[in-house]
């Protein structure tokens, strides 16, 4: 009997700008000079990159460093060898976490965002038909971000707009609405990917002692943003808006949905303009990637959780080349019905991103 190969869509792959100077060809003379003489000044406390875990430099797998010594995720040929050709991947969505959105000089941040997007087109999208990418935007300057969405979305390789969950204000606030309007014009979802841009503590209760605290608490930032987007009425105001939660976990979705609906039943007078209960937006307007996987002790318990979340909500991701990479050959193998696994590994992303076969 011939074994059917499960085709994959990987919704979270990280390509890396190899160095700041790699963006110079895509910057105007003014901003090239700024890069050379001033450089990056960000709101993030991690001025030289993410500080930990030390055991996984650049948060990457030990084997993800190309022999050339280039950064993990910066070498397309090496990515082909380790990911694109190693698994039956139809599409891989690139999420470049370069720090354009963290710049204190918002015009420089906008110039960097444009440079990153043009670099992605030349070095990635035009070199492998399996690749798609997120548009990097200076999202703390929404008018500039909207202009970049309008410009970059003309290239068919861009399939979403990239934001981070630790922002200076909750993402539902009016401040960010120009981004959602522009994403709607472009017909693109907004992806919110785990990262930090703020100068304040990266947990709601202050600075943690350990990386494991920060890594676990990432899901709290995502929950806060989802609640903000729903309660501020963003989904009603922008009916074309679709949101993808990238690397934020997913096991918390049912409990938050239940809690929000219960509170909405009692406190709906505070938000009388919502057209639906909160659970509607979580079910119909928001999708989530699978990595990091939250697996119960008993594998059979995973299926009821997936069904409670919604069989069309989860979309597979590996998080390549990061240390907590999820191997596609091992994901959702135990107890998950084949039709549900196919939805998670391929069909859900194909429908949500509107990929062609």
* Stronger pLDDT, 357 or 132, i.e. the higher one: 132
Q: How far apart are CA 34 and CA 268, in angstroms?
A: 50
| CB distance 290 to 246 below 8 Å | no
DSSP conformation letters of 288-330: EE-PSP---SSGGGHHHHHHHH-TTTEE----TTBTTPPPTTT
| CB distance 211 to 174 below 8 Å | no
CATH number of 8-352: 3.20.20.140
| CB distance 198 to 166 below 8 Å | yes
| CB distance 92 to 84 below 8 Å | yes
- Predicted TM-score (pTM) of the model is 0.95
Which residues face 288 on adjacent strands? Answer: 245, 314
Task: Write the pLDDT tens digit of every residue in 13-60.
Answer: 999 999 999 999 999 999 999 999 999 888 876 655 555 666 678 889
User: Helix-strand-coil percent breakdown of the chain, rounded to 5?
Assistant: 45, 15, 45
Domain-wise residue ranges, the chain: 8-352
Confidence of residue 213 (pLDDT cuts 50, 70, 90): confident
Measured CA to CA in angstroms, residue 347 lies from 23, 83, 240, 312 at distances of 35, 20, 20, 8
Provide the pLDDT for residue 203.
82
């Amino acid at each position: 009997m011939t074994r059917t190969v499960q085709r994959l869509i990987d919704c979270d792959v990280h390509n890396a700008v190899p160095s700041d100077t790699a963006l110079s060809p895509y910057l105007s003379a003014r901003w090239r000079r700024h890069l050379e003489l001033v450089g990056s000044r960000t709101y993030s406390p991690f001025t030289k990159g993410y500080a930990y875990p030390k055991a996984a430099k650049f948060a990457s797998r030990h084997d993800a460093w190309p022999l050339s010594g280039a950064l993990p995720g910066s070498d397309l040929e090496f990515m082909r060898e380790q990911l694109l050709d190693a698994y039956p991947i139809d599409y891989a969505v690139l999420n470049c976490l370069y720090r354009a959105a963290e710049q204190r000089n918002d015009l420089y941040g906008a110039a960097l965002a444009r440079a990153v997007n043009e670099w992605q087109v030349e070095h990635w999208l035009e070199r492998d038909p399996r690749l798609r990418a997120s548009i990097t935007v200076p999202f703390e300057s929404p008018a500039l971000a909207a202009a970049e969405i309008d410009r970059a979305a003309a290239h068919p390789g861009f399939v979403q707009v990239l934001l981070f969950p630790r922002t200076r204000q909750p993402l539902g606030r009016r401040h960010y609405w120009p981004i959602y309007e522009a994403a709607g014009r472009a017909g693109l979802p907004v992806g919110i990917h785990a990262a930090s841009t703020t100068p304040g503590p990266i947990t709601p209760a202050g600075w943690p002692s350990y990386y494991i605290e920060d890594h676990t608490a990432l899901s709290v930032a995502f929950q806060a943003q989802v609640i903000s987007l729903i309660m501020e009425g963003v989904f009603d105001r922008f009916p074309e808006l679709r949101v993808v939660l990238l690397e934020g976990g997913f096991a918390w979705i049912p409990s938050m949905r239940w809690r929000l609906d219960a509170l909405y039943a009692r406190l709906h007078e505070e938000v009388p303009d919502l057209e639906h209960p909160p659970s509607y937006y979580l079910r119909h307007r928001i999708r989530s990637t699978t990595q990091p996987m939250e697996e119960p002790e008993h594998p059979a318990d995973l299926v009821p959780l997936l069904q409670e979340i919604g069989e069309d909500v989860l979309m597979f991701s590996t998080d390549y080349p990061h240390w907590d990479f999820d191997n596609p050959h091992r994901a959702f193998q135990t107890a998950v019905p084949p039709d549900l696994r196919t939805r998670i590994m391929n069909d859900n992303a194909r429908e949500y991103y509107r990929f062609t076969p």
